[in-house]
Amino acid sequence: MPVLLFRTGDRQRREVAVGPGLAIGRSASCGLRIDDDPAGRPFRAFQDTLLDLYRKGVILAICSKNNYEDADGAFQRREMPLSMDHFAATRINWSDKADNIVSIAEELNIGLDSMVFLDNSPTERAWVSTRLPDVLVPDLPDLPSFRPDFLRYMPVFDRLSLTAEDRQRPAMYAEERKRRAFESSVSREDFLRQLQLTVTVLSDPLALLNRLSQLTQRTNQFNLTTQRYSPADIENRLSDAATKVVAVTAKDRFGDYGIIGLAIARQDSHARAIIDTFLLSCRIIGKSVECVLLHQIAEWARDCGCAELIGTYLPTPKNGLVKDFYPQHGFTPLDDHTFALDLARREPQVPTFIAVVT
């Protein structure tokens, strides 16, 4: 009964995920036990706890040594609280669990340092802990009846606040599985064209301060400067006439990504617009939504009479993905970390496969 989770940080919530290999009980004499009787009740309670965490925004993933057909069949039983639709990623095979965890992290764009691994096998726990020291591997209680409360009260699942995005995130990851399946069946060009991607520029960011602050606190991979802002910080920038805040949502044929992009720029005294913050949620990476953000900021800067748009890339251990972002979009290097776009000569373009609603 292996379980994979993604934990929170000290006082800031990260992407969180939980995944049972099979959160059910087996015995040689009675087979699968999930019924409401003394033998099956602890295993059902464990699944109920996972389902409760899922509804609170916890992402489920499966990492199990098993035959896929057996596991899939078990989850199709009517009495099972969980179904395959609850899981963002699955690794049900006989491969090494540490390798499977790395594969899941890569698939979901989540760091190993955000993961928690639960397994009732001390051998598997020791192996994963040794191979992947960044993964938290707590010892499960030996008695199945103690495990639901053990999981429920783990400090890593403490929440300071929950946004609508948090509660929707499990469903969003499940939708992402469908996108990946579709992407693997067609060419990249056809995938993007048939995705029916629509990006909406939000008209009232002031109503979304908590979510916008959360984006700055939690986004690391596609984040050019990794500036961290509180809701009050965002509000102050929205009230500044010399500052532009652009937030976007996205949706496609498979579902809604939610609020996934934020850019903040300000005018200076030299007819320039300085990009202070530019970030995208990992859920939308690879679909060119950053072009919409850049286009919106460039249009605002030009309307304000700015001749140049200045961007800065501040490298961190996690944002190497975007080190060439500005040169790739026509910016000229001013130094190792600062880039300029001549707004009179170049205008950032939005790909034709994206519909933009303003």
Q: What is the pLDDT of residue 115?
A: 82
Question: Considering the domain boundaries, does residue 327 fall inside one?
Answer: yes
pTM of the complete model beyond 0.75: no
Alpha helices in 184-288 (DSSP H): 188-194, 209-218, 231-238
Q: What mean pLDDT is predicted for residues 267-292? A: 94
- Residues 124-143 have pLDDT tens digits of 999 999 999 998 888 889 88
Question: Considering the domain boundaries, does residue 64 fall inside one?
Answer: yes
Average pLDDT in the chain:
85
pLDDT at 196 over 80: yes
Whether residues 130 and 87 share a domain: the answer is: yes
The CATH number linked to 90 is 3.40.50.1000
Domain that holds residue 103: 3-157
Whether residues 39 and 136 share a domain: the answer is: yes
Domain end among 103, 137, 157? 157
pLDDT at 26 over 80: no
Whether residues 107 and 237 share a domain: the answer is: no
Core vs surface per residue 300-318: b (16+ CB within 10 A) or e: bbeeeebebbbbbbeeeee
Whether residues 351 and 208 share a domain: the answer is: yes
Question: Considering the domain boundaries, does residue 77 fall inside one?
Answer: yes
- Residues 37-57 have pLDDT tens digits of 667 788 888 888 888 888 877
Question: Considering the domain boundaries, does residue 289 fall inside one?
Answer: yes
Dig out the tokens for 53 from the structure.
């965490």
- Residues 81-100 have pLDDT tens digits of 888 888 888 899 999 999 99
- Residues 243-260 have pLDDT tens digits of 999 999 999 999 999 999
Q: What is the pLDDT of residue 12?
A: 32
Closest C-alpha to 295, from 285, 281, 309: 309
Whether residues 145 and 220 share a domain: the answer is: no
pLDDT at 148 over 80: yes
pLDDT confidence bin for 25, thresholds 50/70/90: very low
